[in-house]
Amino acid sequence: GAVVSQHPSRVICKSGTSVKIECRSLDFQATTMFWYRQFPKKSLMLMATSNEGSKATYEQGVEKDKFLINHASLTLSTLTVTSAHPEDSSFYICSARVEYETQYFGPGTRLLVL
Amino acid sequence: AQSVTQLDSQVPVFEEAPVELRCNYSSSVSVYLFWYVQYPNQGLQLLLKYLSGSTLVKGINGFEAEFNKSQTSFHLRKPSVHISDTAEYFCAVSDYGGATNKLIFGTGTLLAVQP
């Protein structure tokens, strides 16, 4: 149980284009999902908290117009990187909260912007 | 505010030897504590968690951790490691009863198991 999937696993795009990443909870409903960014050999940085049916809560320093988050259903949250640039290249990981305190993570999406 | 310190960025160890990965936290409130493992180019997998009760917590793959409130530590241990345990290990803390239960991660420890 508590399986979280992400799609795509890897994406390469041209600078200036937008990229959408999906995060799904496969065998449970998640009212809260989280989006993280991980730089090479670094820890995870929380970008935003996504709540079903309401606006996401962004961490300080994260551009909400750049990283659009939508949590339209209890099993799906999406992160759209708008007008992507090379500095947006990173490993993006989502998680879903199960029970009150535990997060289960997706396999991650590697984004490369050329 | 909470924080997590993993002092060892890398721990080399020989196969079948015991290992301890250190984690210290700071918080002004009660906390939940977690250990996650990340294999290359993959997401995080939950190893174990401490919520309350017994301070010795057993997890998957033979790992265990002990919560020590007085020393604000949550060290991860395994009595005999395998090559397949080579991965990045992250300690994380979240505040008990917090509105969003955000996870605060340490910087990670690379466990490098050598034959």
| Mutation target vs B (from A105, A109, A111; most B CBs, 10 A cutoff) | A105
| Mutation target vs B (from A36, A43, A104; most B CBs, 10 A cutoff) | A43
| Residue B27 pLDDT | 84
**Paired tokens of B38:** 């990340």
Determine the distance in angstroms separating the CA of A64 from the nearest CA of chain B, rounded to an integer.
18
| Residue B28 pLDDT | 78
DSSP class per residue in B56-80? EEE-GGG-EEEEETTTTEEEEEESS
Q: Which residues of B touch A97 (CB under 8 A)?
A: 101
Q: In 10 A of CB A16, how many CB atoms? A: 10
Per the CB < 8 Å rule, is A44 touching B51?
no
Q: Is the pLDDT confidence value at A100 over 80?
A: no
Phi, psi dihedral angles at B57 (to 5 degrees): -115, 130
| Residue A52 pLDDT | 85
| Residue B62 pLDDT | 96
Counting DSSP H helices and E strands in chain A, the numbers are 0, 11
| Residue B81 pLDDT | 98
CB pairs under 8 A between A and B: 50
Query: A77: exposed, middle or buried (C-beta count within 10 Å: 0-12, 13-18, 19+)?
Result: buried
Determine the distance in angstroms separating the CA of A86 from the nearest CA of chain B, rounded to an integer.
19
Are B37 and B87 in contact by the 8 Å Cβ rule? The answer is: yes
Q: Between residues B112 and A97, which one has the greater pLDDT?
A: B112
**Paired tokens of B40:** 């290359």
Average pLDDT, chain A: 91
Per the CB < 8 Å rule, is B107 touching A42?
yes
Peptide bond into A86 cis (omega under 30): no
Helix (H) or strand (E) holding A5, with range, is: strand A4-7
| Residue B96 pLDDT | 66
Q: In 10 A of CB A53, how many CB atoms? A: 9
| Residue A54 pLDDT | 85
Per-residue pLDDT band for A98 (boundaries 50, 70, 90) equals confident
Are A10 and B57 in contact by the 8 Å Cβ rule? The answer is: no
Which residues are A4's β-sheet partners?
A25
- Collapsed DSSP state (helix, strand, coil) of residue B101: coil
Per the CB < 8 Å rule, is B46 touching A95?
no
Kindly list the averaged pLDDT for each block of 10 residues, start to end, along chain B of length 115: 90 97 90 92 91 93 95 97 96 75 89 96
| Residue A72 pLDDT | 82
Q: Could you report the per-residue pLDDT of A21-69, keeping only the tens digit for each? A: 999 999 888 888 999 999 877 888 999 998 888 889 999 999 999 999 9
Determine the distance in angstroms separating the CA of B98 from the nearest CA of chain A, rounded to an integer.
9
| Residue B99 pLDDT | 58
Beta strands in chain B (DSSP E): 3-5, 10-14, 19-21, 24-26, 31-38, 44-50, 56-58, 64-68, 73-78, 87-95, 104-105, 109-114
| Residue B80 pLDDT | 97
| Residue B41 pLDDT | 81
Question: Shortest CB distance from A43 goes to which of B51, B94, B105?
Answer: B105
